[in-house]
Amino acid sequence: MLRVQACSFQVEDHRYPLVELNELEPGETYDYGVRLTGGQLWPPAGSGFIPSAIRTATASA
């Protein structure tokens, strides 16, 4: 699991974080969730939703 913290900004009722991710391997998939102030926000606990994922591009030969 990647542990990354970021500040966020708000537009109306929506919050948006900008997160820089380093050292991700090409051609890999990384599941992620969102936690705020210690609580899991996405996917909601017990919701049955699968985690969101970041998929990196495959390195060209």
In the chain, where the domains are located:
24-61
What confidence category does residue 1 fall into, taking pLDDT thresholds of 50, 70 and 90? low
Contact 32, 4 (CB under 8 A): no
CB 5 within 8 A of CB 14: no
pLDDT above 80 for 36? no
Share of the chain above pLDDT 70, in %: 93
How far is the CA of 5 from the CAs of 20, 56, 57, 60, in angstroms? 9, 20, 23, 30
Structure confidence at residue 2 as a pLDDT band (50, 70, 90): low
The model's pTM is: 0.63
What is the spatial distance between Cα 34 and Cα 52, in angstroms, rounded to a whole number? Answer: 9
pLDDT score, position 34:
82
* Most confident segment among 16-20, 24-28, 38-42, 44-48: 24-28
